[in-house]
């Protein structure tokens, strides 16, 4: 049946060409990037999970985790998005197979082949651990082996950044991962750190050496129980001939207590290199499962690769270790000392050749020449024996010079003068030691055999990072994404800025372009917009003049009418917000323009005494004018009761004799 999404173009850019793999939560397709004209891998989330925020979050987390890493042994992620109801992830396309495919075809690997696969896996994990990322799902399915032999770690979907405690934890009470490779602390407490990845990598090493995981069971719970309560089995119990050093490496990396495991993948890698050196295991190509017989042709390396005669001696140690698997000095090689000659040989019939005797009649000078030759051979043999004795005694030993603190070139010269070979050079950042100066040497002193290697670690100088000055004035989300790739500790501070829009970054402290140390605090100033503006004094001004003043400060002006006994008509009597207060930039300010004094209703004072009428009218804000005839009662008033007049308007009352 044709896959319905093959041929679909996502976001107008990625055309799905071929389905490569399918799992329970996602499907991987080969696709063409129409913009850059390249082939990529596109992982589509299963349709029934596309509306689940947890799984969408896992997809997004995988994109961010992988995007933080730039390492040749980590599958790179270039894009992530959703289109037409499909959530997708765009990744580097690795043509090849998984380690699981290789193990299913090969059964198991030799020690040399297992180390060849595990070293790049640990190298990629080292980069992740140094970036503060824990993979949490290391297993053969997530180890990709390209057709060119390049090994890459894939699927950071379960990856999490380390918290302040150096651990990650699952959420929602759901344990995620593959139980056959989960560490005891993940199974018991749901906690994981770099040592959890070390445990999983140790389980993968066990599986490569034996052909199967260490624990089996009818249910995942049974497998989990063994991880928590049992020590890891010994690989040599199942594969006789495996060196005890390899057993110790597997045991050391899969201890149930994480405190006694290597701290991270880098420490595991260093231990593996030590074992390789101790056993004298030569480096072999990464097994790709392909040979010259044709594509995908597999030849199990845990069985003899050529017919063996029954009388041939068997060396199971060499067969298990692979090429160069015997220890130096234990019959691995034979050589002839300088100046020696081969011993007596046999002829075709198995007899020793007859001794050459002088024939009668040989001239005297020939006999003297032969005698001198015999003496020379005796002296040469004596000198050779003496040289061998000197070499086996004190001659083969030399002293490792003091190298720490020396310039790299000077340290190499000192090693060569001492008859030692410089293994140069590992590099490491240092805050105290200048670039190019030796930080450490292994061995660091004492005696060593001439011709042996001395591993030098050279300072790269202080580790520094810079913030791109182009991030100033960019949106905060864009700046956060850029800073995610720099190991600094950003702290956001809101600040007013009259020129930078709200939500955009106004600057950094230390400022952009400054060399920063790892984990140094970086203050990110984020614009809150224009700072508030103080409302000016505009009361008593004309509306036009007040409006011009306010608009010059960025305010929007509205007008309203009011009445005031103190402000002349047509002038500003009040402003809201009040003068002297601060208001947001471009906010609205309302002007109240005086339409004259306040208006009042004339009270009814007819029939009242002159004193009562005067009190009522004055209380209403009116003036009182009295026209009096004989008497003390108000007979008439003007304006009449109930009329609305401006405050201060005079009211005339006619006082005369009262009427009963």
What residues are labeled active site?
137
Residue whose structure tokens are 């030692």: 420
Helix (H, G, I), strand (E, B) or coil at 195: helix
Around 195, how many Cα atoms within 13 Å sit in the side-chain half-sphere?
18
Tell whether omega for the bond before 161 is within 30 degrees of 0, i.e. cis.
Answer: no
Query: Helix, strand, coil: what percent of the chain each, to 5?
Result: 30, 25, 45
Distance CA 653, CA 636 (A): 6
Query: How far is residue 511 CA from its own chain's centroid?
Result: 24
- Cα separation values, 365 from 285, 362, 370, 377, Å: 62, 9, 9, 18
Cα gap 597→172, rounded to integer Å:
71
Q: Are 606 and 639 in contact (CB under 8 A)?
A: no
Phi-psi region of 393 (alpha: psi -120 to 50; beta: other; left: phi over 0): alpha
| Structure-block tokens of residue 21 | 């793999």
Residue 56 tokens, joined = 């969408």
d(CA 452, CA 10) in angstroms, rounded, equals 58
Tokens of 37: 């004209």
Task: Characterize the bridge pairing of strands 521-527 and 505-509.
Answer: antiparallel
User: How far is 524 from 500, CA to CA, in rounded Å?
Assistant: 14
CA distance 76 to 95: 14
The CA-based dihedral angle spanning residues 612, 615, 620, 622, taken in that order and rounded to the nearest 10 degrees? 110
| Two tokens, residue 225 | 């129980």
CA within 13 Å, CB half, 45: 27
- Residue 421 and residue 572: Cα distance in Å, rounded? 94
Q: For residue 219, with 0-12 CB atoms within 10 Å meaning exposed, 13-18 middle and 19 or more buried, which class applies?
A: exposed
Residues 6+ positions from 396 with CB-CB distance below 8 Å: 449, 450
Contacts of residue 216, Cβ cutoff 8 Å, sequence gap at least 6: 223
Cα separation, 566 vs 18, whole angstroms: 86
Give the burial class of 373: count Cβ atoms within 10 A of its Cβ; 0-12 exposed, 13-18 middle, 19 or more buried: exposed
In 3D space, the residue among 189, 111, 101 whose CA is nearest the CA of residue 145 turns out to be: 101
CA-to-CA dists, residue 35 to 9, 13, 40, 74, angstroms: 12, 6, 12, 24
Distance CA 194, CA 125 (A): 9
The alpha carbons of the chain give a radius of gyration, in whole angstroms, of: 46
Residues 6+ apart with CB under 8 A from 510: 516, 522
Beta carbons of 451 and 479 less than 8 angstroms apart: no
Distance of alpha carbon 236 from the chain centroid: 37
H or E, element range at 628: strand 623-628
Quick check: 69 and 261 in contact, CB under 8 A? no
């Amino acid at each position: 049946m044709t896959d319905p999404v093959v041929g679909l173009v996502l976001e107008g850019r990625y055309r799905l060409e071929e389905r490569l793999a399918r799992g329970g939560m996602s499907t991987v397709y080969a696709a063409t990037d129409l913009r850059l004209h390249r082939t990529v891998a596109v992982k589509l989330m299963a349709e029934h999970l596309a509306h689940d925020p947890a799984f969408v979050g896992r997809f997004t987390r995988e994109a961010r985790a992988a995007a933080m890493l730039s390492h040749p042994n980590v599958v790179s992620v270039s894009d992530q998005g959703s289109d037409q109801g499909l959530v997708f992830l765009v990744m580097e396309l690795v043509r090849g197979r998984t380690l699981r495919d290789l193990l299913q075809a090969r059964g198991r690997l030799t020690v040399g082949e297992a180390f060849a696969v595990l070293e790049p896996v640990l190298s990629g994990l080292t980069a992740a651990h140094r970036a503060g990322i824990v993979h949490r799902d290391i297993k053969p399915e997530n180890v990709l082996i390209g057709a060119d032999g390049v090994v890459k770690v894939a699927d950071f979907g379960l990856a999490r950044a380390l918290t302040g405690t150096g651990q990650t934890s699952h959420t929602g009470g759901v344990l995620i991962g593959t139980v056959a490779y989960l560490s005891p602390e993940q199974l018991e407490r749901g906690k994981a750190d770099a040592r959890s990845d070390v445990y999983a990598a140790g389980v993968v090493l066990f599986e490569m050496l034996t052909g199967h995981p260490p624990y089996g069971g009818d249910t995942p719970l049974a497998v989990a129980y063994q991880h928590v309560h049992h020590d890891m089995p010994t690989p040599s119990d199942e594969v006789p001939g495996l060196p005890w050093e390899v057993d110790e490496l597997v045991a050391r990396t899969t201890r149930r207590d994480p405190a006694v495991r290597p701290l991270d993948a880098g420490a595991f890698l260093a231990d593996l290199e030590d074992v390789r050196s101790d056993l004298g295991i030569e480096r072999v190509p990464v097994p790709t499962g392909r040979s010259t017989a044709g594509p995908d042709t597999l030849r199990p390396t845990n069985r003899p690769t050529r017919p063996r005669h029954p009388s041939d001696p068997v060396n199971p140690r060499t067969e298990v270790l692979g090429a160069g698997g015997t220890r130096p000095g234990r019959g691995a090689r034979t050589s002839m000392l300088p100046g020696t000659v081969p011993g007596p040989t046999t002829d075709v019939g198995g007899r020793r050749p007859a001794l050459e005797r002088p024939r009668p009649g040989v001239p005297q000078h020939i006999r003297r020449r032969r005698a001198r030759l015999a003496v020379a051979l005796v002296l040469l043999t004596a000198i050779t024996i003496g040289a061998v004795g000197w070499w086996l005694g004190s001659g083969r030993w030399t002293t490792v010079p003091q190298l720490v603190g020396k310039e790299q070139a000077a340290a190499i010269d000192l090693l060569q003068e001492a008859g030692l070979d410089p293994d140069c050079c590992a590099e490491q950042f240092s805050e105290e030691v200048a670039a190019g100066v030796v930080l450490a040497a292994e061995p660091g002193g004492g005696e060593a055999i001439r011709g042996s290697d001395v591993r030098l670690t050279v300072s790269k100088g202080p580790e520094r990072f810079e913030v791109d000055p182009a991030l100033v004035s960019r949106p905060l989300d864009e700046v956060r994404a850029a800073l995610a790739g720099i190991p600094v500790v950003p702290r956001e501070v809101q600040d007013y800025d009259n020129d930078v829009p709200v939500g955009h970054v106004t600057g950094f402290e230390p400022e952009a372009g400054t060399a920063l140390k790892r984990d140094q605090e970086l203050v990110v100033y984020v614009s809150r917009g224009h700072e508030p503006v103080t409302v000016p004094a505009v009361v008593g001004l004309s509306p036009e003049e007040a409006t011009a003043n306010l608009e010059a400060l960025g305010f929007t002006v509205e007008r309203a009418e009011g009445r005031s006994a103190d402000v002349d008509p047509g002038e500003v009597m009040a402003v809201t917000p009040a003068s002297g207060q601060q208001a947001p930039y471009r906010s609205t300010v309302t002007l109240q323009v005086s339409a004259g004094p306040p208006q009042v209703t004339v009270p009814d004072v007819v029939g009242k005494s002159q004193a009562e009428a005067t009190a009522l009218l004055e209380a209403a804000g009116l003036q009182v004018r009295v026209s009096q005839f004989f008497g003390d009662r108000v007979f008439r008033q003007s304006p009449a009761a109930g009329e609305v007049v401006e405050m201060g308007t005079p009211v005339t009352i006619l006082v005369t004799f009262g009427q009963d």
